[in-house]
Amino acid sequence: MHTSLALLLELGVILVGLSVLGAAARRWSFSPVPLYLLAGLALGNGGIAPVPAAGDFVEVGASIGVVLLLLTLGLEFNTAELTHSLRRHVPSALLDLVLNATPGLVAGWLLGLPWPGVLALAGATWVSSSGIISRLLTDLRRLGNRETPAILSILVMEDFAMAIYLPVLVVLASGGTWWQALIGVVIAIASVTAAFAASHRWGHHVNRWLAHPDDEQLMLRVLGTTLVVAALAELVSVSAAVGAFLVGLTLTGATAERARAVLAPLRDLFAAAFFLAIGFAVSPAQLVPALPAALALALAGIATKIATGWYAARRDGIAPRGRLRAGTALVARGEFSVVIMSLASATSPELGPVVTAYVLLLATIGPLITRWSGDWISSPHARAPRSN
């Protein structure tokens, strides 16, 4: 009974606090994500007002939050549109890898990390946060902008690349052999290819089954199916976010519009838990010694992601204003960097504080840069939101 009382009280205080922060953010016309992250830092372990009873709920809610964020992002597009964009942006993805993994490789070598730690730090500096960026595009009403397909292509190809990268990192960090890593890579590639092909070929059947005139039935079917697909994706070492995104792609037309409407409150609730959880994982006392290295990596990461987005948007014929928007939108790092850090922590314990500080800096600064880039640009070139 006491645990239930503490849980209810802490969750109530957290939700009221998030409401205040969200209202303040919208009053000043910027995303509430940085404020949610700082709130998580204040409420987590070592913070000024820890909430231990709510910790488990926030952790579970965070997993659901990133799934819902990518599901709703997928609802904005369709497989034909995405396939065309992905083909166009293979060179952009390669540039993204080279520009953004290199600072991590160099820093890992300078810090004297073992090889798995160097590989982990390269991954942490490479991958943007799909969860944070999808929320930003929604908050800033940029889902219909002409540069958004370029941003999305980079994010999707990063998520697909994680299906190859993570099995290799897991094997190397645990002292496994090269052939074990190769088996994991083959399984992951086959799973991603099969899932994407199934979404493209049979998505209309899924759309027909999920569609229902009753909003409650629609919500339950879409949410349940998404969580099952996300779990199956994790089972074969593919990101749950990729699975959720593919479910979103299968929904089209009026069904997609209604799904966005009925899922929006759930998405916002659990997305807030996702942002809180990033802050919860950080102990402020551990951050101070790691700040110089993390700040240097963050400055490099801002520059390299802006260059990546600029190049990708230019390939789509976007004007310089849109290229800058694309670049700044990619700055935030988040969930994948934290996962990578946890996988390599056994062999490189010194990696944790550096990556944690790095993620917190870019997860907080990135949304602000994205928002301010809209102020630097006097006349954004946007198109009307697409319909599925």
Q: What is the 3-state secondary structure (H, E, C) of 21-40?
A: HHHHHHHCCCCCHHHHHHHH
Integer Cα distance of 220 and 228 in angstroms: 12
Supply the Cα-derived Rg of the chain in whole angstroms.
Answer: 20
Instruction: Name 147's Cβ contacts closer than 8 Å, sequence gap at least 6.
Output: 309, 313, 316, 318, 322, 323, 325, 326, 329
Residue 357: alpha-carbon gap to chain centroid: 17
3-class secondary-structure state, position 385 = coil
Integer Cα distance of 211 and 261 in angstroms: 14
* Structural tokens at position 19: 């409401």
Indicate whether 381 belongs to any domain.
no
Domain around 223 = 2-372
* Structural tokens at position 136: 């930003």
Indicate whether 386 belongs to any domain.
no
27 to 21, 66, 82, 371: CA distances (angstroms): 10, 25, 34, 14
In the prediction, which pLDDT does 199 show? 64
The tally of domains found in the chain comes to: 1
The residue among 65, 30, 4 whose CA lies nearest residue 265 is 65
- Per-residue pLDDT tens for 319-350? 999 999 999 999 999 877 877 887 777 778 88
Answer yes or no: is pLDDT of 381 > 70.
Answer: no
Q: Which residues on adjacent β-strands are paired with residue 145?
A: 382
Indicate whether 377 belongs to any domain.
no
- Residue 301: pLDDT band (50, 70, 90) is very high
Backbone phi and psi for residue 145, each to the nearest 5 degrees, phi listed first: -65, 155
Indicate whether 378 belongs to any domain.
no
- Per-residue pLDDT tens for 245-283? 878 878 877 888 899 899 989 988 998 888 888 778 767
Indicate whether 343 belongs to any domain.
yes
Percent of the chain clearing pLDDT 90 (strictly above): 28
196-229 CB burial, b ≥16 within 10 A, e <16: beebbeebeebbeebbeeeeeebbebbbebbbeb
* Structural tokens at position 367: 């949304």
Answer yes or no: is pLDDT of 317 > 70.
Answer: yes
In the prediction, which pLDDT does 334 show? 81
171 or 355, greater pLDDT: 355
In the prediction, which pLDDT does 43 show? 87
Answer yes or no: is pLDDT of 167 > 80.
Answer: no
Answer yes or no: is pLDDT of 289 > 90.
Answer: no
Average the pLDDT over 207-233 and give the result. 87
Indicate whether 124 belongs to any domain.
yes
Indicate whether 85 belongs to any domain.
yes
CB 306, CB 331: distance < 8 Å = yes
Integer Cα distance of 333 and 329 in angstroms: 11
165 to 127, 128, 181: CA distances (angstroms): 11, 14, 9
Integer Cα distance of 251 and 165 in angstroms: 29
Instruction: Name 361's Cβ contacts closer than 8 Å, sequence gap at least 6.
Output: 294, 295, 298
Give the count of beta carbons closer than 10 Å to the beta carbon of residue 303.
15
Mean pLDDT of the chain: 83
Instruction: Name 254's Cβ contacts closer than 8 Å, sequence gap at least 6.
Output: none
User: What's the pTM value of the predicted model, to 2 decimals?
Assistant: 0.76
Answer yes or no: is pLDDT of 181 > 80.
Answer: no
3-state DSSP: the chain helix, strand, coil percent, rounded to 5? Answer: 80, 0, 20
Determine which of 32-46, 96-110, 125-139 has the lowest per-residue pLDDT on average.
32-46
* CATH number of the CATH domain containing 102: 1.20.1530.20
Indicate whether 379 belongs to any domain.
no
CB 377, CB 324: distance < 8 Å = yes
